Every structure is written in structure tokens, then in C-alpha cells.
Amino acid sequence: MEVLETVDRERLADLHERDEFFWLDLTGPSTQELRALGDVLGLHPVALEDTIEFGQRPKLDVYGDHVLFVFYTVRRGHPGEAHVEPVEIHVYISGSFVVTVRRSSCTELDDLHDKLDTTDPKAEHYVVYRVFDVLTDAFYPIIESLEEQIDGLEAQVLLAKPRREQLAEIYRLKQNVHELMRRVAPQRDQFLGGTETILNLPGLTRGTREYLRDIGDHLTQIAGELHRQQEDLTALTSTYFNANANRLNSVATRLTIGGTFFLAWTLVTGFFGQNFGWLVRNIDSRHDFMLYGVGGLVIPTVVIGTVFWVKRMDWF
């Protein structure tokens, strides 16, 4: 089976006329190239307009003898960064060809070129399956990476002091997961409902049912994992605020205890610091100082400390 990467009108017309199945993978084609492709393969003008404009939602549109599936895969945004970037792929399927159009790089499709170049051109069902399979499987490493980041944040929030940077990281992960879920959920529904449509395309071999069911199962699994991660991040947000509140409560408790001691000490020193004549005339020896001064501070300190200790130990 031939794998093409450019719009060669003569070659495409020859393959199409001989009804020899092929795969054309285009990266960043111009509007002129897309219109030339539509003329050669007889693609519907509405489908071509969607591909020219790009930025479409996941969908499956039927145009007689061919379909357009707007399918999303995923990749890392930048090397060394955790940001993930959805990649929009327009997949045209008919009984004679598979055409994939994208505007950004997709290593999964690039690596598939050599693998399918030696495939039997009659194995049309396998070619369709392999294209969707590599695009779907690209989600798994990303999901695993997101899971590791979520687990790491949970450990930091629960075992260490919560910091504002952790909350920013939680919201960034929630945004990434939500962005993926927003595309995977409708994509799953479209694929599960459109399997029979693809199978019933004129000229396409009928052996694709089991293969396409496998893709649908993977999409369902991916959507389930993303939904679970959304719930984990929501719960982690609540855990962060609870941990932060507990830390603030602990600080407030310490300040309250210290303030209670200082209140008692201030009351004692304030009383004996009054300039009443009797106090001035009768409390003037070292014995009086030790008894009333030191004792007046030590005794309430011991009493208050005992009360706090009993409360801390929850003895009553």
C-alpha cells in the first residue's frame, strides 16, 4: 500500500482510477492543495471547507461514499513542560483511501508511515484501524503523566504544608484535564455511534468491526480516566483548602493559648502595680515579693497550663 505525503494529482488520480487503496497524510497543506485534493478524490465541498477553516469540534459527517471524522489526539506542548496540547486531525475515509490532514506535527502518524508502507493494499480495514489506533493510544502516556503529577500533589498537600504554588498547579492540571475531556467525551460518542457508518462505506472491506470496537473501547476507557482525574483534582482542591484551614486553626490556637497566659500575667501585675497606700506600705519585703509577685504569676500559669493539657489530652 502506498503512503503519500504530498498532493500529487497524477499519482492520486492513477491510484483512485485503479481503485488501489492508499493513505495520504498531509501536514499543513495550503488551501490550493486542499482544493486540488478535493477535485481529484471527489471530496464534498462542505467537508473541504471544514478542513480549510480547521478549529472544528469532534464530529463524524457522512458525504455519500466517504466520511469526514474530525478526530483529536494529544501531545506535550513544549519539551520539559507538563502542558498538554490537543492535536486536531481531519480523517477522510472511503472505500478507496484514507486521508489525514493536520496543521501541527504528530509523531504517531509520522512513525506509522514506514509500518503501513509495506501493508497489503487489500487490508483496508487494518489501515483504518491503525490510523485511529495510534491517535488514540497517544492519550495513555499523557494520562499516566497527569496521574503522576496528581499523586505527587496529593502527597505534598497531605504530608507537607500547603503552599499557594500547589493551588496554582492544581488549577493548571484541572485546566489540562478539562481541555482533554471536552474533546474526548464527544469524540467517544461520535465514534461509538459512527462505527456502522464507517463499516457501510461502499468498497470498504467488512473486516473492521472488531478493530473499530477496540478503538471505541479505548476511547471509553480514556474518557473514564479523565473523568476520574477531574474528580480527584476537585477533591484535591477541597483537601488543599481544608489543610490550609487546619494550619490556620493551629496557628490561631497557639496564639490563643499564649494570649490567655499573658492575660493572666497582665491581670496579676496590673493589680499589684496599683499605687494604693496599703499596698505600698505593706508589700515591701522580699518575702512579700516572692509570695505575691512570683506566686501570683506561677499559680495561674500552672492552673491554665493544666487546663489546656487536660483539654489537649481530651480527658473530659
pLDDT average, residue stretch 102-107: 89
Helix (H) or strand (E) holding 155: helix 139-159
pLDDT at 272 over 80: no
Q: For position 122, what pLDDT does the model report?
A: 61
Q: Which three cell numbers stand for residue 3?
A: 503512503
How far is C-alpha 144 from the geometric centre of its chain's CA atoms? 10
Give 78-84 contacts, CB < 8 A, sequence gap 24+: 82/145, 82/146, 82/149, 82/172, 82/173, 82/176, 83/172, 83/176, 84/142, 84/146, 84/176, 84/179, 84/180
pLDDT tens-place string over residues 242-270: 877 777 777 888 888 888 888 888 888 88
pLDDT average, residue stretch 290-308: 84
pLDDT at 99 over 90: yes
Give the residue carrying C-alpha cell 489543610. Answer: 243
pLDDT at 227 over 90: yes
Are the C-beta atoms of residues 300 and 272 closer than 8 Å to each other?
no
pTM: 0.76
Alpha carbon of 249 to those of 114, 147, 197: distances in Å? Answer: 62, 31, 60
CA Rg, the chain, in Å?
Answer: 36
Q: Which pLDDT band, with edges at 50, 70 and 90, does 50 fall under?
A: very high
Q: For position 188, what pLDDT does the model report?
A: 92
Close Cβ partners of 72 (under 8 Å, ≥ 6 residues apart) = 58, 86, 87, 88, 89, 183, 184, 187
266 against 89, higher pLDDT: 89
Angle formed at CA 40 by CA 39 and CA 46, multiple of 5 degrees: 40
Are the C-beta atoms of residues 202 and 195 closer than 8 Å to each other?
no
Domains of the chain: 2-245 (3.30.460.20), 250-313 (no CATH)
Are the C-beta atoms of residues 127 and 98 closer than 8 Å to each other?
yes
Q: Which pLDDT band, with edges at 50, 70 and 90, does 77 fall under?
A: low
Q: For position 120, what pLDDT does the model report?
A: 59
